[in-house]
């Protein structure tokens, strides 16, 4: 099993309000303004806020531009502000909020009722700088995770109305106060947030006539990389700049960048029972640890498989301790410890 990421930038929100009578589908909230939000600059106007004669002009623009998810309309001044993300609403006379209704649900989630994620790997939103968002509801929590392609799951506290974003899902543990929602995924990738690659070279694509380009979203970036087996990873910046690359050997921290590396179609392990190898501990930047106790073997396997730079692990049955490793060399005997080493498998695609 490997972790996967479904790479479509979307906005998902469910509301129990009226749908306006229009050729465009929006939910309207009278006398309500947007809460914390991010403005969207219209391609048509090169502005995020415009003066209009009626709200339909705003809706026409927002409906035809994919990145626009909402319109905040000032009734008195006849201005509208386009929004790419909206977290919550607040009462404000003379202001109406129009939320675009998705034509289809781009992201689906599997629900684990009364549960939390077994191991806590928070995801810090690049847009909001938070991994826990208080005083919200589950629909808004899902919409935030949907808008972040590197967000893997959420745990929602139903008693405190807190939204907890997750970078990984490693199983569920019972918790009466929480529900966990996990994205159903397609493409297989290993993701390193706030990182750039060391080693490897740029990959030139004839599609762009270059190895890098400003793109619409991360999906476009990965679609181009997927056209060739020689493209093994992309480096993606929050400014929507995409860099194509080959294999990389290590990473270093860099705020605003993320590395998305292709996973092998199949990951196999050599299993050495009661054996350990000369090796270096490997600290996973994805999961933020190199050794942890109390883990089932399946979780240890999933963690190493999901991290391209992890070369294997040592699993000790006593205490269920998992040690991630790299730079493997000579071996020796060791009771109750089994070493798992990734096999090299040719990718023919």
Query: Angle 130-131-133 (CA atoms, 0-180°, nearest 5)?
Result: 75
Tokens of 95: 């202001």
Tell me, which fold does domain 26-100 have in CATH?
Answer: Hepatocyte Growth Factor (3.50.4)
CA–CA separation, 338 vs 287, rounded Å? 21
Tell the CATH topology of 269-342. Answer: Hepatocyte Growth Factor (3.50.4)
- pLDDT-derived band at 315 (thresholds 50, 70, 90) equals very high
What does the pLDDT look like over 251-291, one tens digit per residue? 888 888 888 888 776 678 888 888 888 788 999 887 788 99
pLDDT digits (tens, 9 = 90+) for 85-111: 787 788 899 999 998 876 444 456 788
pLDDT at 62 over 90: no
Domain ranges across the chain: 26-100, 109-183, 189-262, 269-342
What is the model's pLDDT at position 348? 41
Q: Greater confidence, 56 or 229? A: 56
User: What's the confidence (pLDDT) of residue 12?
Assistant: 26
The helix (H) or strand (E) run that includes residue 145 is helix 138-147
Q: Is 305 helix (H, G, I), strand (E, B) or coil?
A: helix
86-100, 186-200, 217-231 — most confident range: 86-100
pTM reported for the whole predicted model: 0.50
DSSP reduced 3-state for 219: helix
- For 237, the 3-state DSSP assignment is strand
Nearest to 212 by CA among 254, 190, 240: 240
Q: Between the CA atoms of 39, 21, 139 and 62, what dihedral angle is there, to the nearest 10 degrees?
A: -20
- What local confidence, expressed as pLDDT, does residue 11 receive? 26
Q: Cα–Cα distance between 156 and 137 in angstroms, integer?
A: 8
Q: Kindly indicate the confidence band of residue 214, based on its pLDDT and cuts at 50, 70 and 90.
A: very high
CATH of 109-183, one of 3.50.4.10, 3.10.20.30, 3.40.640.10, 3.40.50.20: 3.50.4.10
pLDDT for res 329: 77
The half-sphere exposure of 231 on its side-chain side, counting CA atoms within 13 A, is 24
Question: For the residues 169-194, what does the mean pLDDT come to?
Answer: 79
Region 49-71: mean pLDDT is: 87
Q: Which residue has the higher pLDDT, 35 or 47?
A: 47
Please give the CATH topology (third level) of the domain spanning 189-262: Hepatocyte Growth Factor (3.50.4)
pLDDT level of residue 149 (50, 70, 90 thresholds): low
Mean pLDDT of 188-206: 84
Closest among 21, 38, 27, 31 to 76, alpha carbons compared: 31
pLDDT value of position 73:
95
Contact 274, 334 (CB under 8 A): yes
């Amino acid at each position: 099993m490997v972790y996967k990421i479904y790479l479509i930038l979307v906005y998902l929100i469910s509301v129990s309000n009226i749908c306006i009578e229009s050729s465009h589908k929006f939910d309207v909230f009278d006398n309500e303004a947007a809460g914390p939000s991010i403005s969207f600059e219209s391609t048509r106007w090169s502005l995020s806020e415009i003066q209009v004669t009626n709200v339909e002009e705003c809706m026409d623009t927002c409906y035809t531009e994919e990145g626009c998810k909402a319109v905040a309309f000032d009734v008195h001044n006849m201005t509208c502000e386009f929004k790419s993300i909206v977290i919550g609403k607040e009462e404000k006379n003379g202001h109406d909020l129009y939320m675009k209704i998705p034509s289809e649900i781009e992201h689906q989630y599997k629900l684990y009722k009364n549960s939390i994620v077994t191991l806590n790997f928070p995801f810090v939103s690049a847009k909001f700088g938070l991994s826990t968002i208080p005083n919200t509801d589950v629909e808004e929590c899902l919409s935030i995770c949907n808008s972040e392609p590197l967000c893997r799951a959420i745990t929602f506290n139903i008693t405190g109305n807190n939204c907890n974003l997750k970078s990984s899902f490693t199983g569920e543990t019972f918790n009466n106060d929480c529900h966990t929602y996990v994205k159903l995924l397609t493409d297989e990738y290993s993701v390193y947030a706030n990182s750039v690659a060391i080693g490897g070279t740029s990959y030139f694509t004839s599609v762009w006539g270059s190895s890098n380009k400003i793109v619409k979203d991360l999906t476009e970036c990965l679609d181009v990389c997927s056209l060739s087996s020689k493209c093994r990873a992309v480096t993606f910046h929050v400014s929507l700049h995409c860099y194509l690359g080959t294999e990389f050997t290590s990473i270093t921290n860099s705020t605003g960048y993320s590395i998305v590396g292709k996973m092998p179609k199949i990951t196999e392990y050599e299993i050495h029972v009661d054996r350990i190898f000369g090796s270096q501990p490997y600290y996973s930047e994805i999961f933020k640890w190199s050794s942890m106790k109390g883990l089932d073997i399946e979780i240890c396997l999933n963690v190493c498989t999901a991290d391209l730079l992890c070369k294997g692990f040592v699993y000790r049955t006593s205490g269920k301790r998992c040690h991630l490793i790299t730079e493997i060399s000579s071996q020796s005997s060791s009771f109750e410890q089994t070493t798992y080493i990734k096999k090299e498998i040719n990718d023919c695609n």
